[in-house]
Chain A
Amino acid sequence: DADVTQTPRNRITKTGKRIMLECSQTKGHDRMYWYRQDPGLGLRLIYYSFDVKDINKGEISDGYSVSRQAQAKFSLSLESAIPNQTALYFCATSDLSSTDTQYFGPGTRLTVL
């Protein structure tokens, strides 16, 4: 089984809809991250969490919110989706002892019409 899983893997939604992307990990890592990837751009950090009570904005947090329900779960929400949020979304984890290496989930391809 994969160490970092994301659901759904693909989603098509309409402008204005609320959508939640979920991430679960079995690696036992404290740190979790949400990124988006757009063609021609590097991965950009949306939010990150260093433990269950810690939530921090990344470089492009506007229009997104997150919830860290447990050490193993980190959800990303789009309260009112818009077309320019169409992208490939990745969740990643890392641990305190080795924060240099981030382990990524398989990604969620989101299309907002």
Chain B
Amino acid sequence: RKEVEQDPGPFNVPEGATVAFNCTYSNSASQSFFWYRQDCRKEPKLLMSVYSSGNEDGRFTAQLNRASQYISLLIRDSKLSDSATYLCVVKNDYKLSFGAGTTVTVRA
């Protein structure tokens, strides 16, 4: 079983729409959780950390459910520039485990 699993998508949404997706992780002892963004063939970049209480960064909202071992990301008022692959990342000790990514395409 993969450590981190994501729906690959793609999620095709119009500008201004809300899009949400999840990932699940297998190690209940995982310590930290993140969403990274990766544009086509470029390096991953940290989008936001995910905290147990949930957190927002502008139009992005992340939630963590430790009991069910899933993490979610919601994007409100989607922009064309939000088109990317979103990587769910889980940290155990020093090691980051990456999901394969969820692709989001925002159309005009």
Kindly state whether residue A62 has any CB partner on chain B within 8 Å.
no
- The reply to whether the CB of B100 lies closer than 8 angstroms to some CB of chain A is yes
Chain A's interface size range is: 20 to 34
* A100 in contact with B87 (CB, 8 Å): no
B43 proximal to A (CB < 8 A): yes
Contacting B at CB under 8 A, from A12-44, are: 31, 40-44
Q: Secondary structure of the B side of the interface?
A: strand
Provide the residues of chain A in CB contact with B49, threshold 8 Å. 100
On whether A104 and B100 interact (CB within 8 A), knowing A42-B4, A42-B87, the answer reads: no
Question: How many whole Å from A110's CB to the nearest CB in chain B?
Answer: 13
Contact count band on B: 20 to 34
State the CA gap A102–B94 with chains docked (Å): 11
Among B2, B8, B41, B96, which residue has its beta carbon within 8 angstroms of that of A107? B41
Complex interface: chain B residues within 8 A of A100 (CB): 32, 34, 49, 91
**Which residue from chain B places its CB closest to the CB of A39 in the assembled complex?**
B100
| Nearest residue, chain B, Cβ from A31 | B94
For residue A40, which residues in chain B have a CB less than 8 angstroms away from its CB?
8, 100
B16, CB-defined interface residue at 8 Å: no
Min Cβ gap B108→A in Å is 27
A40-B8, A45-B95, A48-B94 known; A105-B43 Cβ under 8 A: yes
User: B-facing mask of A98-113, CB < 8 A → 1, else 0?
Assistant: 0111101111010000
Listed in ascending order, the chain B residues whose CB lies under 8 Å from chain A are: 2, 4, 8, 32, 34, 41-46, 49, 87, 91, 94-101
What are 13 A-B contacts with C-beta separation under 8 Å?
Answer: A40-B8, A42-B4, A43-B44, A44-B98, A45-B95, A50-B94, A88-B41, A90-B43, A100-B32, A100-B91, A101-B46, A102-B46, A104-B44
